[in-house]
Amino acid sequence: MPSQVNFRAALITGATSGLGRAIAMELGRRGTFIHALGRRAELLDELVAELPSGGAPYAVDVTDSAALRGAIHRADQGHGDATGPLDLVIANAGIAENGIESADDADAASQVLAVNAIAASATIEYAKDLMLPRGQGHLCAISSLAGTRGLPGAPAYCASKAALSTYVEALRFRLHGSGVTITDVQPGFIKTAMTDKNDFPMPFLMELDVAARRTVNALCKAKPPATLRYPRRLAWPLRLAAKTAPGWAWQRALGSKR
């Protein structure tokens, strides 16, 4: 079996900017046809024009579950003769409290949870239902190291990513032996529009192309990892501290009123 596989057709949510766009380009360079989904139609058209192995745009809000399901089903039917059904689906679309207009904190929390947890799990489920009868396909959720434990500044974001990671871990039991596999990608800080707005220190901030390559390299392995955390020099100390620090010590170490 080759050590690297090339996907024929992938669907990526949140492909208009940041990590989703960079992953789309990296997969495209490796021969994958990209079904690109996001709300900003003009950015989707620009991306599709640039994709090295072709692509199709889907101007869809992931919180519209009927539109999301419809787009995934249309993408799975292929695009002309060039592509087959989806063999990779990446639930990447995400927002954080700092990037949205909201009436109050409760409204912000519900918007963040709706996109990052509810719509992301729906993306995975709709794709899973198409892949299971075929007995093959790979699913991927972009969660975050921010889901490791509660951090200051973005409670809904942390909760949404923890929910998504737990969802993926639990779903993996159901997929066991089916031929369909799933990877939870937990990045640290990456330079994107999302982090441009942050006004606090971001240790080991990564370049976008490095993060995209790291993600695609892992997904293209003949046996993709169940969980991918990067950068390691942030992931391991954070996970060790999160697992061992009692609540009071965690609060005191990160203490902030943000």
Ligand X SMILES: NC(=O)c1ccc[n+]([C@@H]2O[C@H](COP(=O)([O-])OP(=O)(O)OC[C@H]3O[C@@H](n4cnc5c(N)ncnc54)[C@H](OP(=O)(O)O)[C@@H]3O)[C@@H](O)[C@H]2O)c1
Residues identified as active-site = 157
Does the protein bind ligand X through residue 190 (CB under 6 A)? Answer: yes
Does the protein bind ligand X through residue 142 (CB under 6 A)? Answer: yes
Q: Which two tokens stand for residue 200?
A: 């606090």
- 72 touches 47 (CB < 8 A): no
Query: Quick one: which of 108, 10, 126 has its CA closest to 69?
Result: 126
Q: How far is CA 152 from the centre of its chain?
A: 22
Does the protein bind ligand X through residue 62 (CB under 6 A)? Answer: yes
**In angstroms, what CA-CA distances link 141 with 88, 92, 124, 164?**
11, 6, 8, 8
Q: Which two tokens stand for residue 91?
A: 């639930």
Does the protein bind ligand X through residue 111 (CB under 6 A)? Answer: no
Least gap, CB of 99 to ligand X (angstroms): 6
194 sits in which H/E element: helix 193-196
CA atoms within 13 A on the CB side of 219: 29
Does the protein bind ligand X through residue 148 (CB under 6 A)? Answer: no
Least gap, CB of 136 to ligand X (angstroms): 25
Q: How far is CA 247 from the centre of its chain?
A: 29
Does the protein bind ligand X through residue 195 (CB under 6 A)? Answer: yes
Q: Applying CB under 6 A, what is the total number of residues that bind ligand X?
A: 29
Does the protein bind ligand X through residue 72 (CB under 6 A)? Answer: no
Candidates 14-22, 24-32, 71-79, 237-245; binding stretch for ligand X (CB under 6 A)? 14-22
Edge-to-edge strand list for the sheet holding 180-187? 55-59, 33-38, 9-13, 88-91, 137-142, 180-187, 227-230
For ligand X, the closer of residues 55 and 94 by Cβ is: 94
For ligand X, the closer of residues 20 and 224 by Cβ is: 20
Candidates 87-95, 129-137, 173-181, 234-242; binding stretch for ligand X (CB under 6 A)? 87-95
- Three-state SS at 128: helix
- Residue 54 CA to residue 160 CA, distance in Å, equals 32
Least gap, CB of 193 to ligand X (angstroms): 4
Does the protein bind ligand X through residue 18 (CB under 6 A)? Answer: yes
For ligand X, the closer of residues 48 and 115 by Cβ is: 115
Q: Contact with ligand X (CB under 6 A): which of 8, 30, 54, 63?
A: 63
What is the amino acid identity at position 105?
D
Does the protein bind ligand X through residue 8 (CB under 6 A)? Answer: no
Does the protein bind ligand X through residue 189 (CB under 6 A)? Answer: yes
Does the protein bind ligand X through residue 39 (CB under 6 A)? Answer: yes
Does the protein bind ligand X through residue 57 (CB under 6 A)? Answer: no
Q: Which two tokens stand for residue 70?
A: 């419809």
Q: What is the binding site for ligand X (CB under 6 A)?
A: 13-20, 38-40, 43, 61-63, 92-95, 115, 142, 144, 187, 189-190, 192-195
